[in-house]
Chain A
Amino acid sequence: MSSGSPGPPAVRGGMLRRVLSIAANTFRETVRNKILYVILAFALFVIGLTWFLADLSMGELTRIIADVGLTSIHLFGVTIAVFLGITLVSQEVDRKTIYLILSKPVPRWEFVAGKAAGLSSTLLLTTALMAATLFVVHFLYGGKAEPGILIASAGIYLELVLLVCIATLFSTFTTSTLSAMFTLALFLIGHLSTHLVRFGGQSKSAAVRAVSSGLFYLLPNLEVFNLKNGVVHGEARSLEALAGMVGYFACYGGAVLLLACLLFERKDFK
């Protein structure tokens, strides 16, 4: 046993190094998970299939490729986010691997942030791969590059990261199964919330209208991230609209992560 040098030990690097280490480890965990490759292989297969789908159907073929392809990227992305995201924190608590991390000089919020960042990097990789595949298929079929596919995929990616933040929040206080169910429920609600508010807003009761608009601000509005129609129908998205989307993402995601960190701060591990 070599004895330590006298005085307090030197600490290399700070918060950023620890968060990045946890993120890198989470990334490594997900890319060593076979489920990821199964889902990803299936997704790329389906995106490839759009080629033949376009052949079978009438109408504007490249549009169909973009439409079906982007929907695939969206749904497979959500599947990956939920499958990998639910186990994010709760599994570490269940398996007690977290004991070995949080007993080191690592503040709890850094752990939460690192986990979310790690999964977001995995999703960046998988979304980029799917988007690139779709872009190439679309280009080969139509002979025209469509940058809208990449922009719409970026929107999907932001939605996935927001779902990761939500899954992180749930997994700090419930089991993996429950947090998966809650996250999926919020995913569905998030795409319907504009409709829900429209129904609520038509109510005669002021209370119902207040509650429905309250819910609108509380629940995530995931339609914000839907740029698919813009691509499919060739409508250009204004830069302001894109900036608004990014702003909404930053505010809502930040608030959710902050809440997750606060809840996690005083958690007792069993």
Chain B
Amino acid sequence: MTPGGAIIEVENLRKSYATDFWKKRTRVLDDVSFSVGENEVVGFLGANGAGKTTTIKIINRLAFPDSGTVRLFGEDGVARFASRRRIGFMPEQPYFYEYLTGMEFLGLCGRLNGMGGRETRRRAVAMMERVGLAAAGGMAIRKYSKGMMQRLGLAQALLHDPELVVLDEPMSGLDPMGRMDVRAIISELKSAGKTVFFSTHIISDVEALCDRVILLDRGRKLAEGTVAGLVGNEVQFIELVFSSPPGGEAGPDMPPCIRFSRAADDLVVRVRNVDDANLWIAKMGGRGSKLRSMTQVKPKLEEIYVERLSGTAGGEGRDAS
């Protein structure tokens, strides 16, 4: 399915939580399967409470599924202990030992990762620099702001130069510059041959960064595919803008259109395809109206996302591509 072999293979994950002792268990994940291939950047989308964090926790062995399996680097079970050295993980809203400084924390991470002292030091300095915390390395984490903690979370995930990076909402709580940094870091990871799996609510980031998207809805996988595959490469409509014809309103014998509206001095016409557009141009030209602009409009992932998620209330999940 993916070139270069799968790095993460998630199969039929089911997970339920007992909210109250005598109440029914609530199902959080229902038969979720997907895989992430080598050197892919995969986005994990879904509404609040869809089960993204739960899935990511199961991948990192912080929670255990009721049934189903997770294979990392083609291994599962006991062997996964060794493979954890190859993963960098940043949890949702990471929280640190507040009595440590940023650099002390990275030092601890290096020792737990089995890195040498000098290598840890070198990488820690480089990563603090990369996430924009170079000046805060000696400051107690107690004094960090939310966004600084988020950045430190990213630095510790990348410290040991892992092959697979799993990030739970890396952009949340970051300022616009911080988000740009994280985008750049994810792109760099991709070009360095790494694999990235991250959850997010920011769809423009997914469009900009991801090779593939997995869409989760209330514990079920709703769709999986490339951004283009999900969105479809088809043109949704063509928008034509004409100057108002001197001869007045458009008559009843106009070519087919989706929508016809007036904006200031202009007529805005939405048509389905190029043939209709040509008919309109010929017709309006005959009336002395000029074509001012013509735009092909493709659907955005955001629209697909909203449509899919709102279209499933009580309905069956559909699969894309």
Chain A interface (Cβ < 8 Å from any Cβ of B): 1-4, 8-13, 17-18, 21-22, 25, 28-29, 32-33, 95-97, 99-107, 266, 268-269
Specify which of A2, A96, A100 is in contact with B109 (CB 8 Å cutoff): A100
Q: Is the CB of B161 within 8 A of A18?
A: no
Instruction: Report the Cα distance A269→B62, complex, angstroms.
Output: 6
Specify which of A3, A10, A107 is in contact with B81 (CB 8 Å cutoff): A107
Q: Which residues of B contact A28 (CB under 8 A)?
A: 99-100
Q: Is the CB of B112 within 8 A of A105?
A: yes
Q: Is the CB of A9 within 8 A of B61?
A: no
Q: Is the CB of A102 within 8 A of B61?
A: yes
Q: Is the CB of B161 within 8 A of A2?
A: yes
Asked, given contacts A3-B193, A103-B60, A269-B57, whether A17 binds B94 with beta carbons under 8 Å apart, the answer is no
Specify which of B81, B94, B163, B192 is in contact with A105 (CB 8 Å cutoff): B81
Map CB proximity to A onto B59-96 as digits: 1 under 8 Å, 0 otherwise.
01111100000000000000001101111010101111
> In the complex, given contacts A3-B192, A33-B99, A104-B113, what are 11 additional A-B residue pairs having Cβ atoms less than 8 angstroms apart?
A8-B86, A9-B114, A9-B161, A17-B114, A21-B111, A29-B97, A99-B91, A100-B94, A101-B112, A102-B60, A105-B113
Q: Is the CB of B86 within 8 A of A9?
A: yes
Q: Is the CB of B85 within 8 A of A11?
A: yes
Chain B residue nearest in CB terms to A269: B62
**CB contact list, B231-265 vs A, under 8 A:** none
Asked, given contacts A97-B96, A104-B109, A105-B84, whether A12 binds B116 with beta carbons under 8 Å apart, the answer is yes
Asked, given contacts A104-B109, A269-B57, whether A29 binds B99 with beta carbons under 8 Å apart, the answer is yes
What's the dominant secondary structure at chain A's contact region? Answer: loop
Chain B interface (Cβ < 8 Å from any Cβ of A): 57, 60-64, 81-82, 84-87, 89, 91, 93-97, 99-100, 108-109, 111-116, 126, 130, 153, 156, 158, 160-161, 163, 185, 188-189, 192-193
A-B contacts, 13 listed (Cβ < 8 Å): A1-B158, A2-B161, A9-B114, A9-B160, A13-B111, A21-B108, A95-B95, A97-B95, A99-B62, A102-B60, A103-B84, A104-B84, A104-B113
Q: Which residues of B contact A10 (CB under 8 A)?
A: 114
Instruction: Report the Cα distance A102→B59, complex, angstroms.
Output: 12
Instruction: Report the Cα distance A106→B109, complex, angstroms.
Output: 11
Shortest beta-carbon distance from A102 to chain B in Å: 6
Chain B residue nearest in CB terms to A26: B97
Chain A residue nearest in CB terms to B88: A103
Shortest beta-carbon distance from B99 to chain A in Å: 4
Q: Which residues of A contact B156 (CB under 8 A)?
A: 100
Shortest beta-carbon distance from A16 to chain B in Å: 11
Q: Is the CB of B62 within 8 A of A102?
A: yes
Shortest beta-carbon distance from B200 to chain A in Å: 18
Q: Which residues of B contact A107 (CB under 8 A)?
A: 81
Q: Is the CB of B114 within 8 A of A12?
A: yes
Instruction: Report the Cα distance A12→B113, complex, angstroms.
Output: 8
Q: Is the CB of A21 within 8 A of B112?
A: yes
Instruction: Report the Cα distance A17→B107, complex, angstroms.
Output: 13
Q: Is the CB of B126 within 8 A of A2?
A: yes
Q: Which residues of B contact A95 (CB under 8 A)?
A: 95
Instruction: Report the Cα distance A1→B163, complex, angstroms.
Output: 12
Asked, given contacts A103-B62, A103-B87, A266-B64, whether A18 binds B96 with beta carbons under 8 Å apart, the answer is no
Instruction: Report the Cα distance A269→B54, complex, angstroms.
Output: 10
Chain B residue nearest in CB terms to A21: B111
Q: Which residues of A contact B114 (CB under 8 A)?
A: 9-13, 17-18, 105
Q: Is the CB of A3 within 8 A of B100?
A: no
Specify which of A18, A29, A100, A104 is in contact with B91 (CB 8 Å cutoff): A100
Instruction: Report the Cα distance A97→B156, complex, angstroms.
Output: 13
Q: Which residues of A contact B158 (CB under 8 A)?
A: 1
Asked, given contacts A101-B112, A266-B64, whether A96 binds B84 with beta carbons under 8 Å apart, the answer is no
Shortest beta-carbon distance from B10 to chain A in Å: 16
Q: Is the CB of B112 within 8 A of A18?
A: yes
Instruction: Report the Cα distance A206→B82, complex, angstroms.
Output: 54
Chain A residue nearest in CB terms to B108: A25
Instruction: Report the Cα distance A95→B113, complex, angstroms.
Output: 21
Which of A18, A33, A268 is the most central at the interface, judged by chain B CB atoms within 10 Å of its CB?
A268
Shortest beta-carbon distance from B299 to chain A in Å: 34
Asked, given contacts A28-B99, A99-B94, whether A9 binds B85 with beta carbons under 8 Å apart, the answer is yes
Shortest beta-carbon distance from A238 to chain B in Å: 43
Q: Which residues of A contact B113 (CB under 8 A)?
A: 11, 104-105
8 tightest Cβ-Cβ pairs between the two chains A and B: A11-B114, A103-B89, A21-B111, A105-B84, A4-B161, A32-B99, A99-B91, A268-B63
